[in-house]
Chain A
Amino acid sequence: MEMELKVNQDNCLGCGVCVVACPVNASISNEVAGGHGSKTTETIMMVENGFIKLFSPEKCTKCGTCQLFCPTDAIWLE
């Protein structure tokens, strides 16, 4: 059973840790690999107006890295 990537903006602090931790994001965007926010909506998720938003969730491989790093359980797989 394939899991699904979910976000809850109510919990999100907009810290962007998930954006940087995500290995798929880092392989798509050089800025992310360098520890910065993404400049392209090609990445799975990015912080927009202070909250996390999913842009290309279909690219997610369900590795669980974002969930491990999120300090507020605002992004998870289920």
Chain B
Amino acid sequence: MISNTKEVKARDFEISRSAEEKRELLYKDDICIGCGICEKTCPVDAIELGSIGAIVRTDADVPKIVCDDDKCVLCGMCSVVCPVDALEFKIDDEDIKNMEEYPSLISSAEINDETCVYCKACETACPREAITIARNLPERSKLVTGEIEIDKETCIDCGICEEMCPADAITMEHKLPTSDDPTVSSDIIVDKDKCVYCLICKKSCPVDAIKAACRSCSYGEYDLNPEDAETTGASFIDQETCVNCGWCQEICPVDAATVVKPFEGELSVDQEKCQACGACVDICPCNVLSFPASSASGMRPEKVMSDENYCIYCGACENVCPVKAIEVKRTDIKHTPTKSKSWDKKMESLKT
């Protein structure tokens, strides 16, 4: 049975045609960065990029791109050039990016768990919140050894040690005194899993009721197992939201993150033309652009500054700039080979 359908779900869409083979184009608006590469690539001008600046900055409930299903021939070119995989093209339920006949952009982001120290810098820096670092901290009680004892006969239940303890290891059972039991506390407990033997309680006790000693301080750390001090964990990159911008690779202190970007190029900002409206800063999916702070009073910094280490040369900033102050050049496109000359030509036409 031959059928042509277009299904629009909120801001996403799905165009499909079922004939001898089933061809489907799926678009996910929350992944789309509004770069407009698909619009430029579409051979039949079926894709139209929306007013990206206004859509992103005013959080308008409008899709970033629309596709005219009367024009769309379901060729799939838009999906292979999309640098963030917001467009997926399937033939008989198989993504053409996994098919040898079709070219696909070469890009990846990986974190090596062997090297990773789980510092979470990448998780914090990732502009797409695509990274999750799950870590298990070492047990505190295995990193220190010592002894602590509170002489309950001498203790006057003042609670100073409880308030002073930086590790919250001391708990007093506070109570109101009665004629039967004229004390203000029924018990005082030290949690030895929490205690770090810092001796603050011992030093601050007004009646010297606490006897404590840190064994690591007195005898060294020979009885501690270094393996117990290791933080273990796992890293996870959500490949769907990741844009391969390179923030994780740049910020990682132990070089555990490796990013391959699909495009090479150059980004330049004309400081004379720039009116500092901030549209590019808001649209950039990679936090490449920012307004610099003035270094000293009376000093005028650049209007907008860029750090190309994080740029994927998608061109979204160039498209959105109202005064044409930004130029993005793509000098190299990394893609898998294809025998089709027209597809190869399209891939190469991404160079500007």
Binding site for B on A (CB under 8 A): 1-3, 21-24, 26-27, 33, 61-65, 67-68, 76-78
Contacts and interface: CB of A to CB of B under 8 A. Distances in A.
A22 B275 CA distance: 8
Contacts of A64: 51, 53-58, 279
A24 B323 CA distance: 6
Contact of B51 (A33, A68, A77): A77
Given A61-B321, A63-B320, A64-B51, 17 more contacts: A1-B66, A22-B322, A23-B322, A23-B323, A24-B323, A61-B53, A61-B320, A62-B52, A63-B54, A63-B279, A63-B321, A64-B54, A64-B58, A64-B279, A65-B279, A77-B60, A78-B60
A64 to B, nearest CB: 4
17 contacts: A1-B62, A2-B48, A2-B51, A23-B322, A27-B322, A27-B323, A61-B320, A63-B57, A63-B321, A63-B322, A64-B56, A65-B57, A65-B278, A65-B279, A65-B322, A76-B58, A77-B54
A26 B275 CA distance: 7
A17 to B, nearest CB: 13
A1 B48 contact: yes
B106 interface: no
Interface of A is mostly: mixed
Contacts of A22: 277, 322
A65 B60 contact: no
Interface in B265-293: 273, 275-279
Given A2-B50, A24-B323, A33 B58 contact: no
A3 B322 contact: no
Given A61-B322, A63-B320, A77-B60, A27 B275 contact: yes
Contacts of A76: 58
